[in-house]
């Protein structure tokens, strides 16, 4: 078992953040003194593999995960979530907030993250089996949903703007569209895709529903995407003000490149 330490006399000033989905895992090790990322890795799981076996292999292949850390954060990466305003939230009925958005079962475990600064909650289904596996390795850890980190951070970045901004978080099999105005969340949704045509269809459909003009609205794309990809090129074709997310607006870049920050945005900001 890895020890997580809060005793100041025994601190090693290292923090571990793990982001895990059914298709893979990424992690980074922070140096808490310099506030930089010392190590970052991304691992894909074999298709149709048993998740516990895949996780076990990661811990064998990356012994750094078994070192002592002062803090461990686990991010659950799935689309089984929904943002709920404070005024509509009741913890007794958290499962009801998801039943119209995603496929849920009576046996599912529901929880939520509080985004109190922005007067809302993120209700979601965590991977209980993954949490149980990690409890065998860390005596304690905190967990959140990946999209809580994503939305909270983008709202903070955009807090001084009075214009609507669109952010697209691109991943290997899905992407999120986040529309914000100042520190208010206007829209959030996750879409699965197969082709670049799927990708631009969902974007333009969202613009149509929200009455956003692709000739005017600013769109920033982050995640695992580069300008030479077919997905960025088709977005740039139909959206005039479309660009990759630029880390120059961030107060801290963790000593990493723009591409790394885009690829591991939620992990780095956990």
Please tell me whether residues 135 and 23 are part of one structural domain: yes
Distances (CA, A) of 100 to 27, 46, 187, 210, 232: 32, 31, 16, 20, 31
Please tell me whether residues 103 and 203 are part of one structural domain: no
Please tell me whether residues 20 and 135 are part of one structural domain: yes
Please tell me whether residues 45 and 134 are part of one structural domain: yes
User: Quick check: is 145 in a domain?
Assistant: no
Please tell me whether residues 171 and 204 are part of one structural domain: yes
User: Quick check: is 267 in a domain?
Assistant: no
Please tell me whether residues 119 and 225 are part of one structural domain: no
Task: Note down the domain range covering 101.
Answer: 81-124
User: Quick check: is 215 in a domain?
Assistant: yes
Burial class (CB in 10 A: 0-12, 13-18, 19+), 14: buried
Q: What is the tally of structural domains in the chain? A: 3
The CATH number that applies at residue 49 is: 3.30.420.250
Please tell me whether residues 213 and 167 are part of one structural domain: yes
Please tell me whether residues 167 and 233 are part of one structural domain: yes
User: Quick check: is 131 in a domain?
Assistant: yes
User: Quick check: is 260 in a domain?
Assistant: no
User: Quick check: is 270 in a domain?
Assistant: no
Please tell me whether residues 104 and 202 are part of one structural domain: no
The verdict on pTM exceeding 0.85 is yes
C-alpha of 263 from chain center = 10
Query: DSSP state, 86?
Result: G
- Within 10 A of 6 (CB to CB), how many other CB atoms are there? 9
pLDDT in tens, the chain (270 residues): 444 555 555 688 999 999 999 999 999 999 999 999 999 999 999 988 899 999 999 999 999 999 999 999 999 999 999 999 999 999 999 989 998 888 877 788 999 999 988 999 999 999 999 999 999 999 899 999 999 999 999 999 998 888 999 999 999 889 999 999 999 999 999 999 999 999 999 999 999 999 999 999 999 999 999 999 999 999 999 999 999 998 877 888 888 999 999 999 999 999
Please tell me whether residues 241 and 168 are part of one structural domain: yes
Q: What phi and psi, each to the nearest 5 degrees, are found at residue 69?
A: -130, 145
């Amino acid at each position: 078992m890895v020890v997580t330490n809060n005793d100041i006399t025994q601190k090693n000033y290292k923090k571990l953040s793990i982001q895990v989905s059914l298709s893979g895992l990424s992690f980074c090790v922070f140096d808490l003194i310099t506030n930089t990322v010392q190590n970052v890795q991304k691992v894909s799981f074999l298709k149709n593999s048993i998740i516990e076996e895949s996780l076990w292999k990661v811990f064998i292949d990356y012994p750094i995960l078994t070192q002592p850390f002062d803090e461990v954060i686990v991010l659950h990466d799935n689309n089984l979530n929904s943002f709920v305003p404070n005024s509509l939230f009741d913890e007794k009925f958290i499962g009801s907030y998801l039943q119209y958005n995603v496929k849920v079962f009576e046996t599912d475990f529901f929880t939520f993250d509080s985004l109190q600064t922005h007067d809302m909650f993120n209700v979601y289904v965590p991977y209980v089996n993954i949490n149980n596996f990690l409890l065998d390795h860390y005596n304690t850890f905190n967990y959140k949903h990946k999209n809580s980190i994503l939305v909270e951070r983008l709202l903070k970045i955009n807090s001084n703007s009075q214009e609507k901004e669109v952010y697209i978080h691109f991943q290997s099999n899905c992407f999120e569209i986040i529309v914000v105005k100042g520190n208010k969340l206007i829209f959030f949704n996750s879409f699965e895709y197969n082709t670049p045509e799927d990708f631009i269809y969902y974007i333009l459909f969202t613009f149509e529903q929200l009455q956003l003009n692709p000739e005017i609205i600013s769109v920033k794309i982050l995640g695992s995407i580069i300008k030479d990809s077919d997905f960025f090129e088709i977005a740039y074709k139909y959206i005039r003000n479309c660009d990759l997310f630029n880390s120059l607006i961030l107060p801290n870049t963790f000593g990493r490149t723009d591409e790394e920050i885009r690829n591991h945005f939620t992990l780095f900001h956990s």
